[in-house]
Structure 1
Amino acid sequence: MVKIIIACCMLSLFAAAPTFAAAKPLSGIAAIVNDEVITSTDLDKEYSQMQKEAEKLPAAERNVQRSAALNRLVDRKLVEQKIRELDIKVTDEDVRLAIEDVKKQNNLSQEALEKALASQGLTFPQYKVQLKEQLERMRLMSQEVRSKIQVGEREMREYYEAHRADYGGGSETFHARHIFFKLDSKASAEEAAKTTKLAEEVLAKARGGEDFVELAKKYSQDPAAAKDGGDLGTFKRSDMLAEIGNSVAAMKPGEVSSLVASPAGLHIIKLEQKSQEKGRPFEEVKDSIEEQLYKKKSDDRFNQWVKDLRSAASIDIKQP
């Protein structure tokens, strides 16, 4: 019975319209891929779906071309044909187990799953069909693409070193002290000159080898300096005022800066220590790096594989 229904549907694509008043208009042909038809109705649905997906993207990326929808359908058709050619099978039990896994990972009951699907405009039977197709494509990728991919230890280490910041490493940290001289933007020229002269005198003492901690306790107008000797603690460049952060980043440990002007006043900075955060060790993130590189290689190889399928296929585009 199913075969009869399918045959009738295929016939309706090509047969002349019968002379019944209630006859529905035939769907046009958008493309023919290895003798299999993609209809205009298929294209309309895919184009509509891509527009919905584009709504989640930034405004600059929402321009969806109808040709892109047709290309996606052609690629999908080629993949479907290859699945049949290689006799890749996904059973109802495979689908059931996959659904149970989805429910378990997301802590969903059957009712909650169906409700979530409904919010996305999907019925449970439609979801099962989509999931089966997805499993078929995954098995195809495993057989035709992923089995031919390797990720080596050296490649993973090179990626790790190039992306240390992603794993909490590579960022510079600084330990510094400062002597602060308050200089209000509304101060008179005479007051500004007086403060600047004092700061220059203290700078000369600091560069002359006098104890920076004692100088901070004696001259700094930072209220905490009397106790901590101007200690700024350990910080990253971005944690501080840009003027201070940029200054310490260019300094060497033990060095005393020139006068540094900030919106609050003048600073004399001494860099005590500079270090780099080690971050998470390679062995701890090795598996995630391998998975990331493997996925990228798989995607790249799969895209090339589909291009090869297209070049070897008979594709007749009927609609632009």
Structure 2
Amino acid sequence: YAQQHNGFPRAQEAAIRQGALEMIIFEELLYQEAERRKLSVSSETLRRQEGEFRKQFQSPDQFQEFLQSEMRGSEQRLQQQIRRSLLIEQVLKSDVEAKSAVSLAEVRAYYEKNPTRFQQAETFTFQSISIVPPLKPGAEQAKEAQKKAEDALRQAKATKSYQDFGLLAEKISEDDFRVNMGDHKAVGRDKLPPQVLKTFATMKPGQVSGLIQIESAYTIIRLNAHTLGRKERLEEVQNDLKVELQKTKYEKLRSGLAKQLRAKAKIEVG
């Protein structure tokens, strides 16, 4: 990475280098543990893995170039590296991967213990057109704003679709959503003012409201969708949840193994 990008990104350099160092240390500790356990790699496995490794090179010459630049021209050194990797893999498989499997019973237990996580909020998807009077308007300005709002309502009621209402919002609305065709996307019930919720209670998707006064503004709303709040069923989330729990368990086991091996290494050195 450093060679390809002329060095590490300055802001990330320390973290990247620290992460790389920790990986090197962890792999060395895994290798030492494999040796301590007297694990072995059969000649057949080693030969097969070396064959797989060679397949990544497009030609024998390219493989020889790799040997010269990375292994000082020694196939024996390459075999030692492959053997080392396979021994490390054995420890990881037995101490981490084999223990990180998550059963459906564990998934169900997590699901039942964390009900709020799987609760989908009630949402409203809508568009708005707002007419905003000047701050502290005089009587004439207030009257003019109301007339403008009533004219906007007449035009909004004449729209027949999302597109029609959106184009009108872009043309006459004075709120920030006009640049998005007045579209607010999905908004949770808890984020909407009471007067809007009261209006939604009388509407069906596709309908346009009357004038709603929100603070000093006159707002017109087109309801596009209303999704009731519900709890996701276990069957809907169990596959993704199982992957997530396995990943969490894997990382926890891996971290625990690293600490255990570090402690053991310190004891042995002492």
TM-score w.r.t. length of structure 1: 0.47
Q: Is the 8 A contact 1:83 1:136 kept in 2?
A: yes
- For the pair 1:268 / 2:220, whether they are aligned, the reply is yes
Separation of aligned partners in 2, 1:96 and 1:191: 92
Alignment of 1:1-320 (within 5 A): 59-63=10-14, 73-91=24-42, 93-94=44-45, 110-111=57-58, 130-153=81-104, 155-157=106-108, 158=110, 170=120, 173-176=123-126, 180=129, 193-198=142-147, 219-220=154-155, 222=156, 225-228=157-160, 249-250=191-192, 251-252=196-197, 253-254=200-201, 258-259=212-213, 266-269=218-221, 271=223, 273-275=225-227, 283=235, 286-313=238-265, 314=267, 316=269
Q: Deviations over 1:32-70 (max 9, x none)?
A: xxxxxxxxxxxxxxxxx9x77998876433216988776
In the superposition, relative to structure 1, how do residues 75 and 53 fare at CA in structure 2: closer, same or farther (>3 Å)? farther
Look up the SS of the partner of 1:88 in the other structure: coil
Could you say which residue in structure 1 is the equivalent of 2:173?
A: none
Identity %: 18
Separation of aligned partners in 1, 2:102 and 2:183: 42
In the superposition, relative to structure 1, how do residues 72 and 149 fare at CA in structure 2: closer, same or farther (>3 Å)? closer
Q: Deviations over 1:198-223 (max 9, x none)?
A: 367x5xxxxxxxxxxxx98x613x5x
Separation of aligned partners in 1, 2:53 and 2:241: 24
Number of corresponding residues: 231
Look up the SS of the partner of 1:63 in the other structure: helix
Amino acid at match of 1:254: A
**Cα RMSD after superposing both structures:** 5.6
Separation of aligned partners in 1, 2:165 and 2:49: 55
Look up the SS of the partner of 1:62 in the other structure: helix
Separation of aligned partners in 2, 1:73 and 1:80: 11
Look up the SS of the partner of 1:111 in the other structure: coil
In the superposition, relative to structure 1, how do residues 274 and 243 fare at CA in structure 2: closer, same or farther (>3 Å)? closer
Amino acid at match of 1:111: Q
TM-score w.r.t. length of structure 2: 0.53
1:111 Cα deviation after fit: 0.8
Structure label with greater radius of gyration: 1
Separation of aligned partners in 2, 1:148 and 1:131: 25
1:226 Cα deviation after fit: 1.7
For structure 1, the residue ranges without an aligned partner over 5 or more in a row are: 1-48, 203-214
Separation of aligned partners in 2, 1:139 and 1:64: 28
